[in-house]
Structure 1
Amino acid sequence: MNDFLKIAIKASLLAGKVIMQVYDKAFDIEIKEDKSPLTEADKKANDIINSFLIPTKIPVISEENKQTDYDIRKTWETCWVIDPVDGTKEFIKRNGEFTVNIALVTNGKPVLGVIYVPAVKTIYFANVYKNEAFKADIESHDVTIETILKQVRPLQPKNNNSDRVEVVGSRSHMNQDTLDFVESLKTDGKEVEIVSKGSSLKFCLVAEGNADVYPRYAPTMEWDTAAGQAICNAVGLRVISKETNKPLTYNKENLLNSYFLVGK
């Protein structure tokens, strides 16, 4: 296994451990300048992940770090892109659908990705270079890499030739554009079922064959999508910008993503 992927997995597990320590007690909620919520879990997880990634000497883009000026960032060939708690709204709702996202990006493309779901101790990870993506259900946040590797199952997207399409919808962002997309499928004669999930789990649903397509017609940032895109790309799925009709890219001057579509 790639050494950087091992580091990312270890970081995600320990971040997940501290997240759950906060989750299991009363916690305060702050509102950031962009109106998004922030909890003690975001801060603690960010500190742990940074403690693993900074020694790699690869620069880090994190939702909870102060962002480096683009004049410096544009010189980075490779960087980490992380979201310590993706789905903070889901965390606050205590529905378990929040994740730790860690991706390694090279020349604007995600090449390694880890998504950890600490509430249920499920981990997804991928190496895009090797076209490999896996899932494991583990018993402890303290499990070793060796134990994970004994339990992994390869991810396999659906090969759907039927008229029934499972569309991933957001718990928090189901809007008119998404509903219009669903209606367009119905107009084409498809029977549509909506599968709802929070956070980057929406990418995982498509990558592991539990949904066909994920249309995202609502704002996301690079740290929301980089790990999920790596996992999807590794199994042959595309994450296509609705603005450029090309794959989403990373370490842009503006870290806001365009709307996008995940599928074959």
Structure 2
Amino acid sequence: MSFDSHDQRAIGRRMRDLAVRAGIETLAYFRSPDLDVRGKSDGTPVSAADLAANALIVSGLRQSFPEIPVVSEEVGGDTPSDWSAPFFLVDPLDGTREFISGSGHYTVNIALIVDHAPLLGAVYAPALDRLQWVREAGDAVEETPPFAADAAGPARALSCRTADNAALVAVHSRSHLNSRTRQYLARYAVTEATAAGSSLKFCLLAAAEADVYPRLGPTMEWDTAAAHAVLKAAGGRVVDAETGRDLVYGKPGLANPWFVACGRGVRVLPLAP
């Protein structure tokens, strides 16, 4: 299955609309005193907002594109018989801990994976009024709020800045910054570091607000796919921290290796022996 420019624009626009609709849905829960949080079998939290956003996105994608499987972090997704074929990859609410804490650093994420790589992506941070998405391969934009669920608004093209490796701006996790990542970042010439939650870290790179984001800890493919698509279309990359190769999708178990996301010109350092 291949997608020409017209196909990509139709799919990208539908992904964008569903991300906005799902994000609006989560805001009703975010502003509620009762978030209805439960524990999943892996010990991570899930809220009623996760499940509501998931149901909206999965049903919307299936209705619009029944031939493309939908893989989701939450219940109700598909298990593709052929992981080399195109599939959607959804994280309806990335940053559940941020959502629960009230920080607003959570995102709705929808990606289209083609040939084991993210082709299209939509990332919406409803509490922060940020929306980035890929209209077609190589065309990433950030819309200007307010956002309508059925009409794309004015947008600016996203393009990663060219890094000064002697004065890098780094971004790291608000909730998962570990000693390995601290030690790794210390090897770069970082003059400024900022913390962000969820897939927003990639968004800062795509928007030319930061240069490098290392993640030396566990993540899943749905955590990164949509924002990886945006960053890639903006001229950035996400590489396996050990091999230096581009991150791939549709792996057994869907677990990511440690990785480094970066903008243009960043000299990615190897892991310390």
TM-score (norm 2): 0.88
Structure 1 segment 104-183 matched on structure 2, within 5 A: 104-127=112-135, 129=137, 131-142=138-149, 144-145=151-152, 148=153, 151-161=154-164, 163-183=166-186
Aligned length: 253
Structure 1 segment 218-237 matched on structure 2, within 5 A: 218-237=217-236
Q: Is the 8 A contact 2:71 2:79 kept in 1?
A: no
Runs ≥4 residues deviating over 2 A: 65-70, 140-143, 160-163
Residues 67 and 252 of structure 1: CA distance in aligned 2, closer, same or farther (over 3 Å)? farther
CA drift at 1:121: 2.6
How far apart, CA to CA, are the structure 2 residues paired with 1:128 and 1:163? 33
Q: Is the 8 A contact 2:124 2:130 kept in 1?
A: yes
Q: 1:108-148 CA deviation, whole Å, 9 max, x = no partner?
A: 1100010001113321011462x111101322454512xx1
- Cα RMSD of the aligned pairs, angstroms, is 1.7
The worse-fitting range, judged by mean Cα deviation, of 132-141 and 37-46 is 132-141
Q: Is the 8 A contact 1:242 1:260 kept in 2?
A: yes
| Gaps in structure 2 of 5+ consecutive residues | 1-5, 265-273
What letter is aligned with 1:5?
Answer: G
Residues 191 and 230 of structure 1: CA distance in aligned 2, closer, same or farther (over 3 Å)? closer
Residues 10 and 68 of structure 1: CA distance in aligned 2, closer, same or farther (over 3 Å)? closer
How far apart, CA to CA, are the structure 2 residues paired with 1:3 and 1:31? 36
Structure 1 segment 25-174 matched on structure 2, within 5 A: 25=32, 26-55=34-63, 56-57=65-66, 58-65=68-75, 68=78, 72-74=81-83, 76-127=84-135, 129=137, 131-142=138-149, 144-145=151-152, 148=153, 151-161=154-164, 163-174=166-177
Q: 1:65-104 CA deviation, whole Å, 9 max, x = no partner?
A: 356557x243x51000010001011100111110000000
How far apart, CA to CA, are the structure 2 residues paired with 1:193 and 1:100? 27
Query: Is the helix fraction higher in 1 or 2?
Result: 1
| Gaps in structure 1 of 5+ consecutive residues | none
How far apart, CA to CA, are the structure 1 residues paired with 2:246 and 2:171? 19
Residues 247 and 13 of structure 1: CA distance in aligned 2, closer, same or farther (over 3 Å)? same
How far apart, CA to CA, are the structure 1 residues paired with 2:55 and 2:248? 26
What letter is aligned with 2:184?
Answer: F
CA drift at 1:181: 1.4
